[in-house]
Amino acid sequence: RLLKSGVKFLEATSLHTDNSIYSCQNEGFLLKCQLAQRNEYSHAKRVGRLRSVVTLIFAIFSIIASGLDFDTLSAISSLFAVGLIVFNKYSDGYISSHKKHAASIQQYIDITLFASAIEGTKSEWGELPNKTDLAKAISEFSGADTSNMRNWYSDYSSLSGEIQVFHCQRENVRWDYDLHKSYIYFQIGILLVAIVAMVVTMFIVNPDFIKLVCILSWLTPLVEYTYSVCKEICESISLLKKIDAFCDQIENKLSEENNVSVKQELIALQYKIRERRENGFLIPDWFYKMRKGKQQKQEDCIAETIVNLSQENGEHR
């Protein structure tokens, strides 16, 4: 029945009089796909969260150990440090696998919407997951509430198809960039607090050279983890900046008065977005939810302004 529902969705889409992205994105089948991709990302994020929790526990334990002059606690901290480094390395493969699957599902959603908006074929946009994979991915969400997944993209429905696609793509890039920038500041702040707490505790309780060496060894996994996270975030930010520069090129081309098609550029842009989703850093769900409301209001405001400016310039459907 899931495969049939997918076919029915495709048939309904082809007959739909309103092929705007804002309208079509709330079709039941696509909303279930949104739940499926979120679930895949959540699998990866849970492992990432476990890494963060274990690292935090280690930091707290190390603070306690630095204040107590027990060789046993020092030895446990050292073993904990080695185990944490090993765990962080082996969890990378699991996270990568689920990220790629989630990105492929999101790619299917985007391409279904974008191909419909510009009245093209999905095959033009590259490889997509097959029907069996999609059916399996959404099978556990047959009766799930999809209301939270509605209106994924802001309303650009009054604009032409290619312009709708472009601004929805750029919305993805802009949203990711803002989240990454905020989260890297958060990570650096946590590390600084942990370092200050350990050093201050050492100087208050037992300020000797041996204890300083122990603290430095205990800080190694925490610093290594924070460094790897910040490095991954910076790589994502760097990639997002390059994608944003490519968006500028497309927007400049769209602003020209010769009404030239940018379809191939949009396809290339979508490939870059998928690549970032597959390889980029995953922002934790709790951090995303904390900023979602504010970010969505900002995106809706940006969309409204762009639509108004476009209509003033005569750029409409």
pLDDT tens for each residue of 83-121: 777 777 777 788 888 899 999 999 999 999 999 998 878
**pLDDT at residue 316 in the model:** 58
Cα three-residue angle 256-257-258, rounded to 5 degrees: 95
- In this structure, is the dihedral angle defined by the CA atoms of residues 292, 172, 23 and 134, taken in order, positive or negative? negative
pLDDT single digits (tens) 239-259: 999 999 999 999 988 887 667
Give the pLDDT mean for 172-179. Answer: 93
Q: How far apart are CA 95 and CA 228, in angstroms?
A: 14
pTM beyond 0.85: the answer is no
Whether residue 13 is predicted with pLDDT greater than 60 in this model: the reply is no
What's CA 310's distance to the chain center, in Å? 29
Q: At what angle do helices 161-205 and 209-255 cross, to 10 degrees?
A: 170
Report the C-alpha gap between 180 and 25 in whole angstroms: 25
Predicted pLDDT at 213: 63
Helices (runs of H) and strands (runs of E) counted in the chain: 9, 0
Radius of gyration of the chain (CA): 24
Residues 6+ apart with CB under 8 A from 193: none
CA angle 89, 222, 43 (to 5 degrees): 45
Q: Which two tokens stand for residue 41?
A: 């990302």
pLDDT exceeding 70 applies to what percent of the chain? 75
* 188-220 pLDDT, tens digit each: 888 788 777 767 766 666 666 566 666 666 666
Locate tokens 């009245």: which residue? 119
Query: Which pLDDT tens digit goes with each residue over 257-271?
Result: 667 788 999 999 999
Share of the chain above pLDDT 90, in %: 31
Structure tokens at 90: 């082996």
pLDDT for 1: 46
pLDDT for position 221: 66
Q: Mean per-residue pLDDT for 219-229?
A: 73
Please state the rounded mean pLDDT for residues 299-309.
91
d(CA 100, CA 104): 6
Place of tokens 């975030």: 233
- Taking the C-alpha atoms of residue 84 and residue 175, their distance in angstroms, rounded to an integer, is 32
User: pLDDT at position 214, please?
Assistant: 63
Residue 126 has a pLDDT of 83
Tokens at 10, concatenated: 């495709």
d(CA 115, CA 156): 15
Structure tokens at 271: 């490939």
**Mean pLDDT across 60-81:** 64
**CA neighbours within 13 Å on the CB side: how many for 36?**
28
- What pLDDT, on the 0 to 100 scale, is given for residue 36? 92
Q: How far apart, in whole angstroms, are the C-alpha atoms of residue 275 and residue 271?
A: 6
The position carrying tokens 């520069």 is 245
The residues near 7 (Cβ < 8 Å, ≥ 6 apart) are none
128: pLDDT strictly greater than 80: yes
CA–CA distance, 216 with 200 (Å, rounded to integer): 13
Per the model's pLDDT, the better-predicted residue between 142 and 281 turns out to be 281
Are the C-beta atoms of residues 43 and 100 closer than 8 Å to each other? no
Contact indicator for 250, 265 with CB cutoff of 8 Å: yes
